[in-house]
A = this chain, B = another copy of it.
Amino acid sequence: MTDTARGSSRRYGTRPTMKDVAARAGVGLKTVSRVVNGEPGVTPDTERRVQEAITALGFRRNDSARILRKGRTASIGLVLEDLADPFYGPLSRAVEEVARHHGALLINGSSAEDPAREQELVLALCARRVDGLVVIPAGDDHRYLAPEIAAGVATVFVDRPAGRIEADTVLSDSFGGSRDAVAHLLAHGHRRIGFIGDQPRIHTAKERLRGYRTAMAAAGLPVDDAWVSLGTTEPERVHTAARAMLDAPEPVTALFAGNNRVTVTLVRVLRQCTAPVALVGFDDFELADLVSPAVTVVAQDAARMGRTAAGLLFRRLEGADEPPRREEIPTRLIARGSGEIRPAHD
């Protein structure tokens, strides 16, 4: 009889519960719970019997039930633009490492740069009752998150600020990094410098443009409208924009790329040019030193951004009750050759 019951409880798709273990070991439910959770107050003999039952039945605690009772899920959500983008790999990994040290798992999803999808994902994670969220926002209005934050979901925004709510934020120094990049080109004799960046609704794109303008202004130089092009990072769009700047009657002698993907496209465009054109890119990429000329970049520290964000998150979860913080991670200019090319004449 007992054997039959046990047999059927092993059927495909059915798993033994603590109750089954308790029955088999001839103890109470709470005793099984004690053993499973390593709580004290169980005699060695009782413990052994429970362990045997656990092994025999192939019991594994159902954390869904545990989570419901305890109120904490020991998981955090990570919403980013695209898991396949190399910038987010190290960032995700860093968040994961910190989560791991706190015994938490990572649930993540890609927004594909779509605000509606970002919101859908974030709210799905809230419904799962993640303890916290790390969000690289696609949208610019996060009021939908306010009730969740008020209900205790620790939330940190990374790479771009939250829109219309206050929250912990970790950003790269886009403004300072861009200003330095352009100053670097100016120091190498350039006067007509083009900026090709991401869509203007993206915060970092605006900041990088501001850095560009500030550096030009500090050098007392005018900025021709034709030297600035913001838009998608599609190769075709970037290619067209670059060609326009390079084929103008007074062509730019240097280009500053607003991000990773733009930089790579510009490397391709510039190989076709006869006259050398200087290039500095925002954000480093793996083989930047292998291309020739090697590409000068303003490097961001994605792993540090992830670590910092996760650190802030767990501070909140451990009860830190302080106003939202905004951390800025410095960038670093790495001169490799392409940014040190001087203008032909002028």
Point out residues on A near B: beta carbons under 8 Å.
10, 12-15, 58, 60-65, 67-68, 73, 75, 82-86, 88-90, 92-93, 96, 100, 105-110, 123-129, 147-148, 150-152, 264, 267-268, 271, 285-287, 290-292, 303
In the complex, chain B residues whose CB is within 8 Å of the CB of A58: 147, 150-151
The complex is assembled from copies of this chain, and their number is: 2
Q: What are 13 A-B residue pairs whose CB atoms fall within 8 Å in the complex?
A: A12-B150, A13-B151, A14-B151, A58-B151, A60-B147, A61-B127, A63-B129, A65-B68, A75-B128, A84-B92, A84-B93, A105-B125, A285-B287
Are B93 and A110 touching (Cβ within 8 A)? yes
For A302, the closest partner residue in chain B by CB is: B84
In the complex, chain B residues whose CB is within 8 Å of the CB of A126: 60
5 nearest CB pairs, A to B: A13-B152, A84-B89, A84-B93, A58-B147, A83-B93
Are B286 and A268 touching (Cβ within 8 A)? no
Are A64 and B287 touching (Cβ within 8 A)? no
Considering the chains assembled together, what is the distance between the CA atoms of A13 and B149 in angstroms?
9
In the complex, chain B residues whose CB is within 8 Å of the CB of A60: 123, 126-127, 147-148
For A103, the closest partner residue in chain B by CB is: B124
Considering the chains assembled together, what is the distance between the CA atoms of A240 and B150 in angstroms?
57
Are A12 and B151 touching (Cβ within 8 A)? yes
Considering the chains assembled together, what is the distance between the CA atoms of A185 and B4 in angstroms?
64
